[in-house]
Structure 1
Amino acid sequence: MFKWLTEFFRLAKNYIVFALLISLSFFLISTNNNVHTRGLQVLGLFTTSYLESGVHDVISYFGLASRNKDLREENAHLIDLIARIRAAMTENEQLREMLKLREQSHTPLIPADVIGRTSDGGRYFVTLDAGSASGVRVGDPVVTGTGLVGIVFAVNDDFCLVRTLMDGDSRIASKLVNASADGLIVAGDFGQLAMKNVSRRYLVNPGDLVETSSLSSLVPPGIPIGMVTKATDEPGNIFKQIDVQPAVDFTSISAAFVMQYTHPPEASKLGREALRKNK
């Protein structure tokens, strides 16, 4: 309050002095009972009223400007607070889903935090703070409480690199739950996945669930992958064009489990050879 008053008087002191002198002049005229000064008395009252109104408006303006600044700062603080609360709620929900998964899983799980992301030129990896010292191996599936994240691509003692489903080289055998149709999940456009090699003869609708297939050599069956958002038949193509919304939010994932999945011997060999060829 004191700050803006000081600034106001610094900028407008000459005008204030002038207004005070004018007001004093009109006051002296108004106290004079001479008949010849009555016109000036009326003009003085009108001018004084106008000046008071102007000064009040100026004071109100500076007061509102100061109040506006306070409100903007408070608004910015509230926006930041809301963002922090939403992030905490999202992380809390992820942890609840992961706790539920850990209680229900029949496969040993290694917990890890996401400590890095790489997204460039069609590549999409995440780095976890768990490595071979914790039991992580190349080819191990990585999951959250909502679904499949990807496959361990490289590992050292303390960290591992995970090729996610959004990576351009990712290929995961998948299944449409409702249609009982198998296909292949690959990275799609605009944050979506695409399901390939599903015949046009199958009925596929938005909302249909997609999960890992028993045909996969890399991951156990039944892990959620996502939900169909669009399915179309293209002229001259024997396969459907299917867009899938990932079950995992790759932009906000903060923790995951590495599954110590025991691959069937032949499937394990084929899967690991495929991973080596894609490196």
Structure 2
Amino acid sequence: MSRPLLKKLLSWLLILIVFVLFINLPRVRDVYFIARLRSTLVLAVYPFQYAASAISTTVSGSFGRVTTLFGASSENDKLKDQVSQMKAQVLSFETIVQENQDLRRTLGFYRDNPYKLKLLPAQVIAYGGSNLHSTVMINRGTQHGVVKDAAIISAAGLVGKTEEVFKYTSRVLLIIDPASSVSARDAQTKDFGVIEGRGLSPLSMKYVPASSDIKVSDKVITSGMSDIFPPGIPIGEITAAAKKDYDIFQMVKVKPFVNFSKLDQVFVVQGK
């Protein structure tokens, strides 16, 4: 930039500064012409001031909303964690309540002893076998007076029999095992049959005469025609009964009363 032009610009800048200072003097501001001039300058500058203020407000508001959203997201995560913790606590509480109910039922059964049997309380300590061979281990053995082929029952009904007995434990063959067979009868019609295990499927009641009037929902109990299982122990409920022409036996399915997937407290029958 040339020196003459620079001097000219500095001169105009100095004049402008002096003018601005002059029109803002207390006595000068009240002069009509000067007041109009100041108003004109204010109106000219106002759009730029408004735009700058709007941009500032928008940016500030955007940052505020972003901060609020992040805060809400964090609060939402905390609420989700609290809900998950509460669900876990409710589930734990329900489990405890169910276990307490099961224990009270077992204690009540042992106290009342409805079958008038000599019972030895035992606990299932392990599951064994597979779908083809269903067994459990209990914490009672020869040291406690347990013998082979002793009936095992629960508050719900017939469980099985001891298959192998050790000093402090015993292996129990469950009635759902295909190797298991129990003499049984329909509690309503008094018809006899043999309960055989079918793994995870319902029990099968074989050798029920085709002429029998057994029905779905009839109760099946032990017949007592065995040296192992006492009479009258509940086994299950009939869920299906069918017969074909010329067949001499019906095909009967029985749902056991015992929930073998949640077997816990049982009793060893030691005598009548």
For Structure 1 versus Structure 2, the TM-score category normalised by the shorter chain is 0.7 to 0.9
Deviation at 1:247, TM superposition (A): 1.1
Which residue is equivalent to 2:110?
102
Alignment of 1:74-223 (within 5 A): 74-105=82-113, 106-188=116-198, 190=200, 192-223=202-233
How many aligned positions are there? Answer: 231
> TM-score, normalised on structure 1?
0.72
Alignment of 1:36-47 (within 5 A): 36-41=44-49, 43-44=51-52, 46-47=54-55
Counterpart of 1:165, as a letter, is I
Match of 2:260 among 228, 250, 269: 250
Deviation at 1:62, TM superposition (A): 2.1
Q: Deviations over 1:209-231 (max 9, x none)?
A: 11111223420010111122333
Judge conservation of contact 2:132–2:199 (CA < 8 Å) in 1. Answer: no
Alignment of 1:56-71 (within 5 A): 56-71=64-79
Change (3 A) 1:191 1:202: same
Report % sequence identity: 25
Change (3 A) 1:69 1:129: same
Which has the higher mean CA deviation after the structures are superposed, 224-233 or 147-156?
Answer: 224-233
Change (3 A) 1:100 1:60: same
Change (3 A) 1:55 1:227: farther
Gaps of 5+ in 2: 1-40
Deviation at 1:253, TM superposition (A): 1.9
Deviation at 1:255, TM superposition (A): 1.2
Q: Distance in 2 between matches of 1:237 and 1:43?
A: 98
Q: Distance in 1 between matches of 2:130 and 2:77?
A: 41
Deviation at 1:109, TM superposition (A): 0.8
Q: Distance in 2 between matches of 1:49 and 1:207?
A: 77
Deviation at 1:237, TM superposition (A): 4.5
Q: Distance in 2 between matches of 1:147 and 1:160?
A: 19
Change (3 A) 1:162 1:55: same
Deviation at 1:101, TM superposition (A): 2.5
- Aligned to 2:260, what secondary structure does the other structure show? coil
Counterpart of 1:259, as a letter, is V
Change (3 A) 1:232 1:60: farther
Match of 1:228 among 228, 238, 244: 238
- Aligned to 1:216, what secondary structure does the other structure show? coil
Gaps of 5+ in 1: 1-32, 263-279
Deviation at 1:260, TM superposition (A): 0.5
Larger Rg: 2
Q: Distance in 2 between matches of 1:221 and 1:119?
A: 28
Deviation at 1:138, TM superposition (A): 0.6
Q: Deviations over 1:77-110 (max 9, x none)?
A: 2333233333323322222222232233322111
Which residue is equivalent to 2:10?
none
Q: Distance in 2 between matches of 1:197 and 1:87?
A: 41
Judge conservation of contact 1:98–1:144 (CA < 8 Å) in 2. Answer: yes
Change (3 A) 1:36 1:195: farther
Q: Deviations over 1:211-269 (max 9, x none)?
A: 1112234200101111223333356644333332221111222211101036xxxxxxx
Give the root-mean-square deviation of aligned CA atoms.
2.6
Q: Distance in 2 between matches of 1:40 and 1:235?
A: 102
Deviation at 1:41, TM superposition (A): 4.9
- Aligned to 1:214, what secondary structure does the other structure show? coil
